[in-house]
């Protein structure tokens, strides 16, 4: 029962976020051999000026060994 959390800059509509969540859930379910009914997806908006301190420094850097897809940008 995976829970997926997406963080992004603000600016997407609720419809865009729903579509993204649905596609991510479908991809995860297919890749992991699960039903989409077992997948949950959260989307949290983080202001651009807070990205480094709230996401990069607190989650990306400390969890680097767990990242199967690493960002292609540097902070």
Question: Would you please indicate which residues are annotated as catalytic (active-site) residues?
Answer: 2
Distance CA(45)–CA(36), nearest Å, equals 23
Q: How far apart are CA 3 and CA 41, in angstroms?
A: 6
SS3 of 56, please? helix
List, in sequence order, every residue forming a beta bridge with 3; answer none if it has no partner: 40
């Amino acid at each position: 029962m995976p829970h997926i959390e997406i963080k992004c800059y603000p600016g997407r509509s609720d419809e865009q976020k729903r579509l993204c969540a649905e596609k991510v859930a479908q991809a995860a379910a297919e890749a992991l051999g699960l039903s989409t009914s077992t997948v949950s997806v959260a989307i949290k908006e983080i202001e651009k000026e807070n990205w480094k301190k709230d996401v990069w420094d607190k989650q990306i850097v400390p969890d680097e060994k767990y990242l199967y897809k690493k960002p292609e940008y540097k902070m």
